[in-house]
């Protein structure tokens, strides 16, 4: 178990390196395995979560190698996973587990999924329900891991209305639909991150996404597409960039620069919110890259004010609420976050963990099951001097390390090694721009 101490920092300056996008990295590996031929990946996120997916695919028979900077996936086409009766350990990765469940559900394989303590408490009913409709057989004692799936040789094309706007559920259903002979149709109330749709389309699948007259989203995928192996150049992860962005906004005299960030509109709710709060954030060098929009970002210290974040914005910033809570803590006035109950199902119950630690620091909060209100201090420091246990939640760990940079007495984050799930170079990258972090 390792801890990091975070101390008051005078300024953050310069260019910070942020790693490749986690969502796109998981998908590039899985989709590459479904195409025929070699898919080459540049800028794959080399983190524990992504390696869990990579190792799981290898166990199912997929050949994956690294050649200098590039990863190569030797795909054998749809339904080609062939090593049966494997137990796959997805570690901390909800995305890896849930998406692979969809892939296995559409393959003639029996697979058991296990994970760490955090992943083993996360709800899987959201995945089990639709996958059962495709003909897969699923055995789990309480809708959590460990869970065994006997996939279906010929999965049924389903029409599924999801109550959640979850990209993990959507992608799992679409992955099982790849090997189905008909059209899979998936509905979600708000558009969740759409990397699966963009990437499959880029590889040649017939996949449509539209807003219906009832104002819900309809995604249709024609089964058995001829997926072309391809080159994925993965943009950098906006969810990882969120940590230095908030730290730079809060710390006086800061001015940082981040290159090549994915600015897909289903991912940048937090940038829009921070700009609404008064954040000096500029996007430039906008480009398109393998079907995704990317841009460089400049951030300068700013005076922030509290805002009301509507529930409709949740899917586009689902992973950024912990770090946004830190921004809200220093803003002038109240910030309310509405419709955020699914944060209770992430690596930890993020509403509870954020509130508990903020309250210890004297920051007032109020919450219900689905909302969180934070009363901003309207100043740029706290007394600090607390310990925060990450409880295996990488985003809680990084959020409170950022808060420590504004604390008179240091903040110690325990079980900080969990940061390796998504941003293995967080410590070094943050130190390079001036963050006072010390491994203890
Ligand atoms: C992800 C989707 C999100 C997000 C997770 C990654 C993905 O989960 O929280 O970190 O890659 O599909 P939900 O869409 O289930 O909320």
Q: What is the pLDDT of residue 141?
A: 82
Cβ contact 290:231 at 8 Å: yes
* Contacting residues for 164 by C-beta, under 8 A, at least 6 apart: 126, 188, 189, 342
Model pLDDT for residues 58-113, shown as the tens digit of each residue = 999 999 999 989 999 999 999 999 999 999 999 999 999 999 999 999 999 999 99
Q: What is the pLDDT of residue 74?
A: 98
> Out of 21, 49, 89, 319, which one is annotated catalytic?
319
What secondary structure does DSSP assign to 36-47, as a single string? EEEEEEES---S
Residues lining ligand 1, CB < 6 A? Answer: 23, 95, 166-168, 171, 192-193, 318-319, 342
Q: Looking only at Cα atoms, what is the longest distance across the chain?
A: 62
Cβ contact 219:207 at 8 Å: yes
Tokens 């954030």: give the residue: 281
Task: Name residues of the chain where pLDDT drops below 70.
Answer: none
Is 389 part of the annotated catalytic residue set?
no
Q: What is the pLDDT of residue 153?
A: 87
Of 131, 268, 104, 291, residue with least CA distance to 195: 291
How many A from CA of 168 to the centre of ligand 1? 5
Q: What is the pLDDT of residue 359?
A: 98
Q: What is the pLDDT of residue 178?
A: 98
Looking at ligand 1, which residue's alpha carbon is closest to its atom 11?
Answer: 23
**Beta pairing partners, 185:** 159, 220
pTM for the structure as a whole: 0.98
How many A from CA of 16 to the centre of ligand 1? 24
Structure tokens at 256: 């940082």
Q: What is the pLDDT of residue 1?
A: 79
Q: What is the pLDDT of residue 167?
A: 98
Nearest atom of ligand 1 to the alpha carbon of 26 = 11
């Amino acid at each position: 178990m390792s801890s990091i101490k975070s101390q008051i920092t005078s300024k953050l300056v310069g260019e910070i390196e942020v790693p490749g996008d986690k969502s796109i990295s998981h998908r590039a590996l899985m989709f590459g395995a479904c195409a025929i031929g070699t898919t080459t990946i540049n800028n794959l996120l080399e983190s524990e979560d992504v390696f869990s997916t990579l190792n799981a695919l290898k166990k199912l028979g997929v050949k994956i190698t690294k050649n200098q900077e590039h990863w190569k996936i030797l795909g054998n086409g749809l339904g080609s996973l062939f090593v049966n009766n494997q137990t796959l350990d997805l570690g901390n990765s909800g995305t890896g587990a849930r998406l692979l469940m969809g892939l296995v559900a559409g393959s003639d394989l029996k697979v058991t999924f296990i994970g760490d303590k955090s992943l083993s408490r996360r709800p899987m009913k959201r995945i089990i329900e639709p996958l059962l409709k495709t003909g897969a057989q699923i055995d789990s004692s309480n809708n959590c891991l460990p869970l065994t799936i006997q996939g279906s040789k010929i999965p049924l094309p389903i029409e599924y209305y999801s109550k959640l706007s979850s990209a993990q559920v959507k992608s799992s259903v679409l992955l099982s639909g790849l090997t189905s002979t008909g059209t899979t149709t998936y509905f979600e109330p708000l558009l969740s991150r759409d990397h699966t749709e963009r990437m499959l389309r880029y590889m040649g699948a017939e996949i449509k996404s539209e807003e219906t007259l009832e104002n819900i989203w309809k995604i249709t995928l024609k089964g058995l597409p001829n997926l072309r192996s391809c080159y994925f150049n993965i943009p950098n992860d906006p969810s990882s960039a969120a940590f230095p962005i908030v730290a730079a906004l809060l710390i006086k005299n800061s001015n940082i620069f981040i290159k090549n960030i994915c600015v897909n509109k289903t991912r940048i709710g937090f940038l829009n919110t921070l700009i609404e709060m008064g954040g000096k954030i500029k996007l430039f060098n906008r480009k398109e890259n393998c079907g995704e929009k990317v841009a460089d970002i400049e951030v300068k210290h700013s005076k922030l004010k509290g805002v009301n974040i509507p529930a409709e914005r949740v899917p586009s910033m689902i992973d950024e609420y912990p770090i946004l809570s830190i921004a809200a803590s220093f803003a002038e006035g109240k910030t309310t976050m509405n419709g955020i109950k699914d944060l209770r199902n992430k690596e930890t119950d993020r509403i509870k963990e954020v509130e508990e630690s903020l309250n210890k620091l004297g920051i007032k909060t109020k919450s219900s099951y689905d909302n969180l209100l934070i009363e901003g201090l309207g100043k740029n420091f706290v007394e600090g001097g607390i310990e925060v246990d990450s409880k295996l939640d990488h985003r809680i760990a990084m959020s409170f390390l950022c808060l420590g940079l504004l604390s008179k007495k240091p903040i110690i984050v325990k079980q900080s090694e969990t940061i390796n799930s998504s941003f293995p170079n967080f410590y070094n990258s943050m130190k390079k721009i001036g963050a006072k972090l010390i491994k203890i």
